[in-house]
Structure 1
Amino acid sequence: MADELAALVVTGAKRATASAVADYEHAGEPLPRTGQLAIVVDGRGRPRAVIRTVEVRVGPLSSVDDRFAWDEGEGDRSRSGWLRDHESFFRRYLPTIGSRFTDDLPTVFERFEVVFAE
């Protein structure tokens, strides 16, 4: 999956990402901040792009809007598809970090711009 996501970033199709707040808490990491730089790596850990966070919002998973779903660049890019896919992912993933899915799951909605892409 990392290869596919990195390719979406490099091509510009993916300009947003969403994560559960619980994921950051579990990792002991702070939430992303506007202006923060990050390196996007592929499935082999090779750098593919540098991105800069341009917007961060925390809200319930269900608060995703059509524009964010489109900007995330995955699946059919619709809000309904986005919610279906993310709920499915979080229901599988969250128990592995000692958390669980709820309808109002606190979610980090992050928008970014590509600073450099290979």
Structure 2
Amino acid sequence: MLSALDKLKSRYPHAHVWSFGDSAEMADELVQLVIAGDKKASCGSLAAWSQGEEAISPGDYHIVLDGSDHPACVIRTISLKLIRFNEVTAQDAAAEGEGDKSLQYWRKSHQAFFTREGTFSEEMELIFETFLLVESVQRD
């Protein structure tokens, strides 16, 4: 019998597989925001993206895992843009759907995240991704 992940991989054969954030708690929180329809964007440091093994392009599918490494949903990349941390707009922050969706909240939480990653700078370059929820996955 195929696992839920194997079934998704067969439906989306070239999908990237990953989870949000840098902890199981963050992965759970952020994937639930996606499923609820609040989170429609994400970003990462250009440094981290450059170290990734797979290039990501608009149109790509992603199987997003929860904090227990179980598939939670499938998303599809709509757009990617290069932007500096200090150029992120209130609209960009709201699209990420986190906290109160304000730019102030976004700056504080992302500064903490990128500081933990060791990449934070006001001038740092980010890859800002918008995406569409394709399907949520019911856990067996």
Matched, 1:60 2:84: yes
The answer for the alignment partner of 1:90 in structure 2 is: 114
AA in 1 matched with 2:128: F
Identical counterparts, % of pairs: 36
Structure 2 distance, partners of 1:33, 1:115, is: 16
Structure 2 distance, partners of 1:44, 1:74, is: 21
Unaligned runs of 5+ in 2: 1-25
Which residue, 32, 44, 47 being the options, matches 1:22? 47
Matched, 1:37 2:64: no
AA in 2 matched with 1:111: T
How many pairs were matched up? 112
The answer for the alignment partner of 1:75 in structure 2 is: 99
Give the secondary structure class of the aligned counterpart of 1:103. coil
The answer for the alignment partner of 1:108 in structure 2 is: 127
- Shift of residue 27, structure 1, vs aligned partner: 3.3
CA contact 2:49–2:127 (8 Å) conserved in 1: no
TM-score normalised to structure 1 length: 0.88
Q: Deviations over 1:48-77 (max 9, x none)?
A: 111011111011011111111111111121
Once superposed, what is the RMSD of the aligned Cα atoms? 1.2
Structure 1 distance, partners of 2:74, 2:89, is: 26
Bigger radius of gyration, 1 or 2?
A: 2
Structure 1 distance, partners of 2:81, 2:30, is: 21
Unaligned runs of 5+ in 1: 95-99
AA in 2 matched with 1:10: I
Structure 2 distance, partners of 1:28, 1:10, is: 26
Greater relative CO (CA pairs within 8 A, separation 6+): 1
